[in-house]
Structure 1
Amino acid sequence: MLIKSNDLLIRNLAQQSVVWFKAANAYVLVAPQMAKLIERIGKGLDDKALIDWSQKNLKLSKHQSEALLKATFKLIAELNVTKPVIKSALQIADKHQDYAFIKYYKIGHFVVKASFESEALAFLIHPKFDHLSVAETPFNTEFEVSLQNEQLILKVDNLVVGTWAKNEVEYFQGKFSMCLITQLYGKAESEWMGVFHASALSDGKNSVLFMGDSGNGKSTLAALLMAKGFGLLA
């Protein structure tokens, strides 16, 4: 089966439908007709039943129904993909690592030693903390950043806390900052409450939270929905 019902979440939103894919933890806005078709694919209907349903309920010709089904299958195949787990990064925890760029950051009485495999990797983090730089001194915690198999590796006190592909730099930077905060305050990440860079709206009964990178249209979509009667939560 291409996808199962419990791997989907479908909600109607004005003239569009939001389909969330559990595997990729991603959502897409589609026409209600396609959302209904995706829902039936999740229920296990075969191709003939899906085409017959499209002809009867969407008033499409057989050719149009086949084209819609093909496009829907393609969409599901692209989004119903689980991000692979990188295992190789865990193997470097006990390996000796030479670092070309080492900095010490002091926050109050707390000192962080940050070791980077290269200056290029340091550039991803150092500019943000440059104003906290001090000369070499005893430290409370050590952060190590390296690159292996095209994966960014972050270690805190010699433990690998995460790996990221090169196109996931923002996630790596966010994790670095989050680990720094947890070390500084001595609290686990689960004890913190985060504020997402997002737009949240409500119709008075239900709420929806739009998350994504800057420039992807969250604020624009929020403005359009507010013009249609939705209230802005955040």
Structure 2
Amino acid sequence: MILQKQLDDKTILWLQHNNQYIIVEPIVAEIASLLNTNTSIEEITTLLSNKVNAPLQEITHFIDDIAKLLIPKVKDDVKKTILKVPENFEYNYYYKMNNITIKVSYLSDFEKLLVHPKFAHLEVQEPLNINYHYEVYSNETHISFSIDKKVINTWELNEVHYFQGKFSMKIVEHIHLKEEKEWLGVFHASAISNGKESMLFLGDSGNGKSTSLALLQANDFTCLADDFVPIDSQKKHIYSFPSAISIKKNSLDTLLPIYPELKTSAEFHFKKLNKIVRYLIPNNTNYQQHLPCKALIFIKYEKNSDLQIDEISKLNAFQQLVPDSWLSPISENAEKFMNWFEKLPCYQLTYSDNKKMIETVHKIFNNEL
């Protein structure tokens, strides 16, 4: 199955067999649609020869190449590694989010470092009632994740980010009482709210997403989520995620006057990601909060630059948004996602003056741009 959405002068194709979004010329989308309805290559060649001035052999090769995109790749039958759940864990922590309490058992410091720093602000003493028990354990090559003794998955250590994503997804499911199939996707972004609407900040690592989020939550806005921003399929709302805000070392000079607690915060070195971070507690305690999205802001801090805010093309925004996102593989959700995205205004915001950046965000929320 394929889905199509026109953006600017291009077409977005969604291919169900590998949950892939690709940007193509309208003629490619037309051919893909015909192939999807089992129209023969001979018929498509005849139709295309009336529109394109090219030799029939070239047209046939062109159609063949498009047809290959629509063929599901056969997955190798790889034996799944299964790690035995350990009898004893070195660490047990309890995290309270809304009315949900999650116990997390970590086998060692390695697993603890992957998760605990982001959720340390939610830690409570051992409660009488525990809603879920997560277990995280690894060996020399793999890491596993279980909930209430049921194995969720096992990953190779070089794919540890997939484990972290699944761990966060389970938290989202549990605190918002929605299964994975009820989410459109999760964005690698920061999200704020003004109490009525939300706004997403996106950009490459180091562009200032989390720093901007920290500045904005100190200036009348609420932090909804940092790095892991879920959107549901029913309301198309941005939902709260309770992790701390990750602050890189080069942002400390800017943020220390506002958050003096960062001076003595623990510092964490993530060598594989080549970054050193401290964690800032978000100003949100209502983890049930969910709000419609006002706009997508592709943000970039650039030293000594004048503030510049421009609405950018949907195509440009789509190309930046999708590669870093987890998007639902369900066709109904894929269609909802493309329809939702099509209606959103998208901006590029470049700044060096924090005050002007904050003023501009206020203006976008208030329709004053």
Normalised by the size of structure 1, how large is the TM-score? 0.61
Q: Return the offset for 1:143.
A: 0.9
Q: Equivalent residue for 2:250?
A: none
CA displacement, residues 21-65 of structure 1 (integer Å, 9 cap, x when unaligned) = 222333211111111111111122333333333222233322431
Q: Equivalent residue for 1:126?
A: 116
CA displacement, residues 192-234 of structure 1 (integer Å, 9 cap, x when unaligned) = 88885389xxxxxxxxxxxxx9649x866x721399xx75368
Q: Is 1:24–1:82's contact at 8 Å kept on the other side of the alignment?
A: no
Aligned length: 201
Cα distance change of structure 1 residues 64 and 34 upon mapping to structure 2, 3 Å threshold: same
Please list, as runs of the form range in 1=range in 2, the aligned pairs for 1:39-78 lying within 5 A after superposition.
39-77=33-71
1:114 matches 2:114: no
Q: Equivalent residue for 1:9?
A: 3
1:110, 1:40 → 2: CA distance? 50
Q: Which amino acid aligns with 2:25?
A: A
Q: Equivalent residue for 1:154?
A: 145
1:125, 1:112 → 2: CA distance? 13
1:225 matches 2:225: no
Task: For structure 2, list consecutive stretches of 5 or more residues without a partner in the other structure.
Answer: 190-201, 206-295, 299-310, 317-341, 347-369
Q: Is 2:90–2:108's contact at 8 Å kept on the other side of the alignment?
A: yes
Cα distance change of structure 1 residues 157 and 51 upon mapping to structure 2, 3 Å threshold: same
2:137, 2:125 → 1: CA distance? 22
Q: Return the offset for 1:176.
A: 3.8
CA displacement, residues 83-137 of structure 1 (integer Å, 9 cap, x when unaligned) = 8999958x77xx5424554231343897543123443333221111233446777
Cα distance change of structure 1 residues 225 and 48 upon mapping to structure 2, 3 Å threshold: same
Cα distance change of structure 1 residues 107 and 197 upon mapping to structure 2, 3 Å threshold: same
2:168, 2:75 → 1: CA distance? 19
Q: Is 1:152–1:164's contact at 8 Å kept on the other side of the alignment?
A: yes
Normalised by the size of structure 2, how large is the TM-score? 0.42
Task: For residue 70 of structure 2, give the secondary structure of its aligned residue in structure 1.
Answer: helix
1:103 matches 2:92: yes
1:9, 1:51 → 2: CA distance? 22
Cα distance change of structure 1 residues 151 and 179 upon mapping to structure 2, 3 Å threshold: farther
2:36, 2:169 → 1: CA distance? 35
Task: For structure 1, list consecutive stretches of 5 or more residues without a partner in the other structure.
Answer: 1-6, 183-187, 200-212
